[in-house]
Every structure is written in C-alpha cells, then in structure tokens.
Amino acid sequence: MKRLILIRHGKSSWEYDVADDKRPLKKRGFKDGELIAGTFEKFFDKPVVIYSSPAVRALETAKIFKDKLKVEDKNFNIKPGLYTFSKADLLSQISKCEDSIPKLMVFGHNPAMTGLVNELGDKHFDNIPTTGLTVIDFDSPSWSALGKGKTIMHLFPKNLR
C-alpha cells in the first residue's frame, strides 16, 4: 500500500521583482502552513519522505511541515523536476520514488496539484487552494504503477480558520 500526501505551496508574494521560482511566501503563507501542518500532525504517522519543488514558495512551505512533523533531513529531498505546472510531469516525478517508501509527501504547484488529485483520487476538487493538503491511499506495491486511489483526507486553510 502507498500513501501520497500532496500539498500545494503556501500563498506567495508578488511584492518583489523576482523570477517566478524565487517568489517567497507571504505572511499568510507561513500562517496557513503552520495551521495545516499543526492540524495534520494529529493524523500523521512516520515514516514519511518529503519531495519538494525547488521554488522558494514550495520549499518554505515544505520546511514548515518538515519542522512541525519532525521529519529527518535524510528524508527531505528537493526535486528540480517538481517545479512544474503539468500533472503528467508531477506524476512522472512521483513514479520515480523508491518502492520501499510507503508514504510520500510532495510539495508543488497548480494546476498540476489539482489535476493530479482529481486524476488519482476518488473525490473531485475544482481547485486545490494554496497550502491545501490531500491524502490519497493506493492498493499498489509500486509508485510507478499507481491506479485510482481513495482520497481519505483533505485539509484546506479556509475550512480551519
């Protein structure tokens, strides 16, 4: 069995004149990250491996979760291929995960996140919001052979504020 935890990066700032992948989180992005990570902590069980896009907004969000969930450095990975807006590219990165890993937490971007959650899970969402978290379970021994899974949880900031 595999468990995929997909998290869209937190709310980012357009205040600075920087490249898209250099945009940092806004104050709200940090607050929502703490809110979702703190709520998820109650349902979370180790071990988990984290994959994050290298984009600043995704990496800052991932680090909030890493710290809150006490994920070891060896299980925290920055994957350049996750800086994508394509659900096919996102799935391709996930499919490369080692099969010995039962739980994978991935931090990335829309529209890839919403598209993949809807493709793999059994619940439909019009939009995964910033800092939105979705958990999907699969009856699969392999990350490269994921079929349709069961969406067992979603946490969105607006539902917890």
The pTM of this model reads 0.96
Least confident among 15-19, 122-126, 150-154: 15-19
pLDDT at 46 > cutoff 90: no
Tell me which residue range forms the domain holding 50: 2-160
pLDDT computed for residue 155 by the predictor: 97
DSSP state of 12: B
pLDDT computed for residue 59 by the predictor: 98
Q: What is the mean pLDDT of the chain?
A: 96
Instruction: Find the DSSP H helices in 13-156.
Output: 27-40, 56-69, 87-95, 112-120
The total of structural domains in the chain comes to 1
Q: Determine the Cα–Cα distance for residues 147 and 79; give it in Å rounded to an integer.
A: 23
pLDDT computed for residue 135 by the predictor: 98
Q: What is the CATH number of the domain that holds 80?
A: 3.40.50.1240
* Token pair listed for 2: 């595999």
**What number is the average pLDDT over the span 124-131?**
98
pLDDT band at 54 (very low <50, low <70, confident <90, very high): very high
DSSP state of 152: E
Q: Determine the Cα–Cα distance for residues 81 and 54; give it in Å rounded to an integer.
A: 9
Of 68, 71, 121, residue with least CA distance to 91: 121
**What number is the average pLDDT over the span 69-76?**
97
pLDDT at 161 > cutoff 80: no
Helix-helix angle 87-95:112-120, to 10 degrees: 70
